Amino acid sequence: MKKGISYFGVRNPEWVAKDLATIKDGGIDYVVHTFSEEDMEFYLDTMRKIVRTSKEMGLEVYLDPWGVARIFGGEAYSKFLLLNDDARLVTREGKKGYGACMNNPDTLEFMKNWVDAAYYAGGDYIFWDEPHFSLITNKDGCFCNICGEKFKEEFGEELKKATPEDLSLFRGLTKLNFLKEVMEYSHIKGMKNVLCLLPHDEDLEWEKFAEIKFLDVFGTDPYWVLKPVGFENWMKTRVEKVSKLSRRFGKESEIWIQNFKVRKGEEVLMEKVANTAMAYGIDRISAWSFRGTSYMSYIKSEDPEGVWKKLLEIYSKI
C-alpha cells in the first residue's frame, strides 16, 4: 500500500524542500501538490521547481486542479469565472452560479490549458479532486442554453421540466463526459489520472466512473466531517465499493483520511479508516493535509501535531 499526503500554501521552494524532507522521513511515497489557477499563472516555474525537488527526493507527484473553475474541491478562487461570464453555471431562475459549466466548450478548453501547465510543471499524476456542481448555487445542476440543448438531445424533453431523477442523472452524465475528455487529454500527454469522487456523490453509478478508459486510480474521501452520525458503516460501504470497482476494472484504488478539522479525540477514526482500507486491499491511502492542516486556520485540526504524529504512527504500521 502506497502512502500519500497533500501539501499546499507554501510557495517558497526552500521551505517546501524542508517540509518535503519531513514527508519523506515519515515513510511517505507520494505528495499531492495543489495547483490552483493562481499557481498556474503566478507560480508556474516555482511549481516546476517544487515538483522537481519532490521527485528528486523519491516522491511520486500528483497535481490537483484545486478549486479550478470552481469545479473541483479546494480553498481557491477562480479568475476563469470572473473573465468568462458566458461559461458560468446558470441557475433554474436564470442567475449566474458559482462555478463553470462542464458542458461549455470554453470550460473544456481552459481545463486543457490547465493540463498543459500541469504537464509543464512535471506532474506524474493528475488528481481530479471532487468534481461537483456548486452546492451554494447549483445543487440541481446547470440550466444554461448549452445544457438545455444537451438535455433535449439525450432525454427528449425540456430541462426545466425535468424530474429530480433525470436532473441527477444528467448531472452525473455531465461530470462523466467532462472527466472522460480531460482524462484522455492528460493521458495523451503521458500523465496518469486519479479520480476522487465525493463520498456522497450518487448522481450516477460509480462503476461508470471506475470504468473510464484513461483512469488509472479510482477513489473517494470518506471524511467523518461529512457524515458525523453513522460514520463507520457509511465509510465502510464507500471503501468496499472503491475496492470492488477498482478490481473489476483493473484500476488502482485510493482512500483518503481526514486530517483537517479533526477534533481532539477523533484521532482514533483515522486508524479506523486506515484499517478498513487495509482490510479491503486498497492500493493507496492518503491524508488531507500535511501536519494536520495546521497552517490553514479555516480547517485546521484542534491538535494538528497530534494528528500528524498519529498519521505517521498509522503509516509506520502499513
Q: Which stretch binds Zn ion (CB under 5 A): 131-139, 142-150, 186-194, 290-298?
A: 142-150
Name which position in 142, 182, 183, 245 contacts Zn ion (CB under 5 A): 142
Q: What is the enclosing helix (H) or strand (E) of 285? A: strand 284-288
User: CB of residue 99 vs Zn ion: minimum separation in angstroms?
Assistant: 10
User: CB of residue 204 vs Zn ion: minimum separation in angstroms?
Assistant: 17
Size of the site for Zn ion (CB under 5 A): 5
Site string for Zn ion, 184-213 (x = CB under 5 A): ------------------------------
Cell numbers at residue 153, please? 438531445
- Beta-carbon contacts of residue 33 (< 8 Å; ≥ 6 apart): 6, 7, 8, 47, 50, 51, 54, 61, 62, 63, 64, 123
In one-letter notation, the amino acid at residue 76 is A
101 forms part of the interface with Zn ion (CB under 5 A): yes
Q: Which stretch binds Zn ion (CB under 5 A): 100-108, 218-226, 244-252, 310-318?
A: 100-108
CA dihedral sign, ordered 5, 172, 233, 218:
negative
147 forms part of the interface with Zn ion (CB under 5 A): yes
Cell numbers at residue 186, please? 492528460
User: CB of residue 144 vs Zn ion: minimum separation in angstroms?
Assistant: 3
Nearest C-alpha neighbor of 236 from the set 204, 207, 276, 187: 276
111 forms part of the interface with Zn ion (CB under 5 A): no
Cα distance between residue 199 and residue 138, in whole Å: 19
Q: Are 123 and 196 contacting, i.e. CB atoms less than 8 angstroms apart?
A: no
Nearer to Zn ion, 103 or 193 (CB): 103
Q: Which stretch binds Zn ion (CB under 5 A): 39-47, 99-107, 132-140, 252-260?
A: 99-107
SS3 category, 127: strand
167 forms part of the interface with Zn ion (CB under 5 A): no
Name which position in 50, 115, 121, 144 contacts Zn ion (CB under 5 A): 144
In one-letter notation, the amino acid at residue 108 is L
Nearer to Zn ion, 50 or 144 (CB): 144
Q: What is the enclosing helix (H) or strand (E) of 257? A: strand 252-258
**Opening angle at CA 117, ends 13 and 39, nearest 5:** 45
23 forms part of the interface with Zn ion (CB under 5 A): no
- Which residues sit at the interface with Zn ion, rule CB under 5 A? 101, 103, 142, 144, 147
